[in-house]
Structure formats: structure tokens, C-alpha cells
Chain A
Amino acid sequence: MIELKDVSKSYDAKTKALESLNLHLREGEIVVLKGVSGSGKSTILSLIAGLSKPTSGEIIVDGKKISKLPDHFAAAYRRDNIGIVFQKYNLIPTLSVYENVLLPLFPLNLAKEEMDKKAHSVLKKFSIEHKSDMLVKNLSGGEQQRVAIARANINHPKIILADEPTANLDEKLSLEFIDILRELKEKQRTIIVATHDPLFFDLDFIDRVITVAHGKVI
């Protein structure tokens, strides 16, 4: 369902982040992209998310050629189909949990009831509803993690992308995260985790571990 066809990406004349990369992912697969920083795994995620465009090649998601989409359509595609969990959570500390989780939907200007419904459903699912009015800066690391994941799921996206999600976490929180991933896999989400954390390389529910180095799949 996700296909990268002969994709190359260079940021300038010298640096080639990806070189003629080919990748195919089925729906519901959970895949780990293994590689050191600079290997190009983050670039792959960014391309699938439609955040950047390849220098050559095509990216097709669910039959749609997203590499050709103009920016505002790419953003809409991203909003509706992709949930991203960042390394540093990237929440807005001075907004509440409720507001942070709804942040992707702000531009849609939906009715309050609808926004409420979506927010509470996703907060409940990730067991953070009881803190919905608290400011994010007052939460613990684990709680912030759950808010970040909740935000990524607000629109029930088909694809979840996680970029070095455990790089800043201790072992306990890392394992909690892996548990959440397991739950998400059961919900038929397609999940890609880009990481060099060895905790991920030997998990039972991971379908594939793909090694990326120097912009190529090995």
C-alpha cells in the first residue's frame, strides 16, 4: 500500500540522502527502519508523509501519487492519513492536553461538539483523558508521550510514522511505547518506526526490519 519507486532525494549538489530507493509496504504491516542517523531513514519517513518531494522517482500511497501533489493537498493528505510521533514529542507546552491533541484539526474549524468528541475518544484510548485540561508542561514524561501518540491518532490515520520515538526515553517508557505499538498493530494500522534502538530489532510483532544505510536499502 505504500510504495517508493526508484526514489532519489538530494538536498543540494553534494548530499544525496537517498539513491534509487525501492520500498514496498503492505497494509497493516509494522516495519522497523534500522540505521544510524544520516542513513536516510528520516528522509524516507518525510517523503511518505508528503513533507518533502523526491528529486526523482515516485511515492504512491494507497494508489495515490503523493509525490505529485501540490503542497496544500499534500498537507491535507498528511492530516487525514498520517500520524507522526516525533522524537521530542513536539507538543506545545503552554497549551492544554486537549488543545494539543486537537492541534492538527485546528484549521478545519469544525463544530465544537465534533472536536470534543474526537478529542475525548482519542484521549480515552490512550488513558490520558483525566488530565485533559492540564497544561502539557506540567505532565510527566510518560504522560507527554501518551499525549503525543494521542495527537498522532486524532484522525484515525491509516499510517503511523515514528521517528526515533524512544531516543529520549528510559527503558520503562520505551517498553510502554512498544506496548502501545502492539495495540496499534492489532488495529490494522500500517506502522513504520525509524530507529537505531536495539529494543526494536527483536520484537515478535514486527513484520520486517529493513536496514537503511547511505541512502539505500540493504
Chain B
Amino acid sequence: MSSINFYLLEYAYNYIKRHKNKNIFIVLIFTLLVALLASLFFITASLQKELQERIAYTPDIVIQNYRAGMPAAITQKELDRVLEIDGISSGNLRVEGDYEFLKAKRRFHLLGVDPFEPSSDPFIAKLVDENEINATEMLVSKEVLQTMQKAYYSDFFNFVLEDGKLLKLSIKKSFDPKRRYDLHNLILLDKDTLRKIFSYKADEGSDIALYVANKNELDFLASKIRLMLPNAKVISKNDLKLKYKSLFNYDDGVFLSLFVITIFTFFIIIYDKANGLSSQEKREIGILKAIGWRVEDVLQAKFYEAALIALFSFVLGYLVAFVYVFYLKAPLLGKIFADESVLDIANFRLDITMDLSYTLLIFLLSVPLYIAATLIPSWRVATMDADEVMR
């Protein structure tokens, strides 16, 4: 490849400036495309990264009982059975779930704690350790406290039980989950008290958390438990990791067709715009050829023109997506992703996550397409009969 011809480059730049209107339109479309693609990848990458972080706090294996295809309570009996398996180092029956606070249209996440069963989540373990909660107390997050206060509850809250009776719990303290967005709706309370709220029997729980001694045996043990408890859903940490890794793969036909349509439309628009040459533009190319430019020279200038626009729009689109996702926290678009994976976007930090491979990917999806769209129009222009200039 020969070195860059700066004279042709400057000519191309000047040419772009001379046809501002058309080119501003093209830059806009291109930037939009890149911004859209980049936002997509930024959002999914950031979500995935955070999901992977959260997995660190989960137990090695979680067992959930199913009845009639729906989640059901699991009992101490299953726990005892499972604890007998060689390789399981420890486990406990957990009581946790969601509570709908209808008045404020919010959902709290209630977690039953037991000081003798420390949580695998260091943040929660610390809270439980530092604050002794008795059967009538609870710890709430800052956000939950705000919600309750808005409903005029200041230092206690009434939970509505299944039979309609009320259970009053006093707010011992509130905590600040800070960067743990997944704990924004958390309430910690005594395990048995929670059983009352969820109408669980004394030996029932919402799921079983297990810990294994040798992580290499994880999959093997998980499959063993599946055989043992055919009605239960057994999810190992490895399963979660894999699931989150391919969470945003675009197997969904709708997504893919939208994608392809966008790319196709982009291509058509660019092709159309590039093809429309005013008689003045045609004349100029004719002059260039008359003064000695070869077809290859015109093509090279046209290529520089396309490259300048493409590179500029690419960088611009990337910056726009960056600001949109990481500073504005992706309004609208983010919700689509959250809904896709049943995640609540408000629960995510959307940290700055950048991957070089994504940059290359977006580059390959946009710039070659743009240049391809200008190939035939540029050729048409470059091979125009120049003798019309003389007439």
C-alpha cells in the first residue's frame, strides 16, 4: 500500500466542506448507527460485568423446589438429604422473597437472617454481625426507608399477612447499600418472623443454599442433586456464569431482524445519497480528469472522502453512546434490556465497561459497510466520460 497522499486528502476534505448539507445528513445517519450499536454493546457489557460480580456473592448451589411447575417451599428434610452428599461442605435453608407494598407500588426484598448462619454475601454478613435483630425488628436499606417514610411509616412498618392480619415490625436501623444496587430494596429480619409473613411452616424455606469444598466438583455434585430431587431446580454457580455470559446473545429472531433491517436501511440511504450527484459535481470530476487525473486518482480521492466521513462519524457516534450509556444511564434503551432478562435496570450501576473487541466489532459493522455503499457510486463518478466538459 502506498503512502497517504495528503494533497488528495486535503482535496477530499475541501470537497466535503463544499457540500455541507448532503454530508451533514450522512454524518448524522452514520453517527446514529454507530451510537445505537455502541450503546447496545456498552449496556450489555456493563450489565454482564455487574452480573458476574454479583455471582461472587451467591452460594455454590441453590436448590429451589417446584410444584405444578411453579416455585414452592422446600423443607428441612431435603436439606438433610442433600447435606449427606460427599463433597457438600455446608448448607442452609434460606427464607427470602419479595413483598409487594401496594400503596407505594414498590416491591421489597425480604431476607431472613440467622446470626448462626452467616451469609455468603460479605455486606449482609457484616450487617447481621454488627446489629442484633430480635423477632420484632428489622434492618432496612436507605431506599426502603424513604419509601416507607413517604407512606408515613417512620419507625415501624405493618406487613399484611396471608390471613389479612397485620404484623408490626420496628425499624431498628437503616443501612446504605452504596454501590450494591441489587440491595436497594432489601429488608433484613428474623428468619422465623419472615416465615410468618410468607406463611411458611417452621421447617420450610424458600430455597436451599449449599457450599462445596472442591469447586471442580461443582457440576458433578449439581447433577447428583438433580437426580436426587427430580422436582427441584438446581442451579450451580457455573450454570449462572454460563447463563449470564450468553444472556444477551441475539438468538431472538425479533432482535436479529431489527438489526439486519437497520443495517440494510443504512446501506440504502448511503448508496442513494452517494449516487445523487449534481451537474456541478459531475462537472468538477470532469475537469479533474481533463487536467490529468486518472480514474484511480479520482477513486482514491473519493475513498479519502468516505474514510474521513466514516472515521469522523465513528468517533462521534462512539462518544455519543459513551455519554448516553454511562452518564445519562441509558434512558429508554436500557429498559428494553432489563425487561429482556427480567432485570430491573434501576438496580444496575452501569459502570464504564470498555472492551477493545467491541470497538473493533462496531468498527467492522459500520465503516466497511459505509465504504461498500459508496463503492459503486464513486466508481460511476470516476469513470464518467470527461469529454462532456469540453462541450
Contacts and interface: CB of A to CB of B under 8 A. Distances in A.
A and B touch in the complex (CB under 8 A): yes
Interface of A: 42-43, 45-46, 49, 51-52, 71-72, 75-76, 78-80, 82, 84, 86, 90, 92, 94-95, 99, 102-107, 109, 115, 151, 155, 163
A107 B8 contact: yes
Contact of A86 (B8, B287, B293): B287
A107 B293 contact: yes
A65 B124 CA distance: 90
Contact of B290 (A49, A102, A106): A49
Contacts of A43: 387, 390-391
Nearest to B298: A107
A51 B283 contact: no
Contacts of A78: 290-292
Interface in B16-49: 17-18
Nearest to B11: A106
A94 B18 contact: yes
B387 A52 contact: yes
Given A51-B289, A75-B289, A106-B8, A86 B297 contact: no
Nearest to A88: B283
23 contacts: A51-B289, A51-B389, A51-B390, A52-B386, A72-B294, A75-B292, A75-B294, A75-B295, A76-B294, A84-B291, A86-B290, A86-B389, A90-B283, A90-B287, A90-B389, A99-B10, A104-B291, A104-B292, A107-B5, A107-B292, A107-B300, A115-B7, A151-B291
B294 A84 contact: no
B216 interface: no
A105 B294 CA distance: 11
Interface of B: 2-3, 5-8, 10-11, 14, 17-18, 283-284, 287-297, 300, 385-387, 389-391
Given A51-B386, A51-B387, A79 B17 contact: no
Given A51-B387, A102-B7, A75 B287 contact: no
B8 A46 contact: no
Contacts of A72: 294-296
Contacts of A86: 287, 290, 389-390
Contacts of A80: 292
A42 B287 contact: no
B390 A42 contact: yes
Contacts of B10: 99
Contacts of B296: 72
A106 B11 CA distance: 9
Contacts of A163: 390
A92 B284 contact: yes
A15 to B, nearest CB: 12
B290 A94 contact: no
Closest 4 CB pairs of A and B: A79-B292, A107-B297, A75-B294, A106-B7
A121 to B, nearest CB: 18
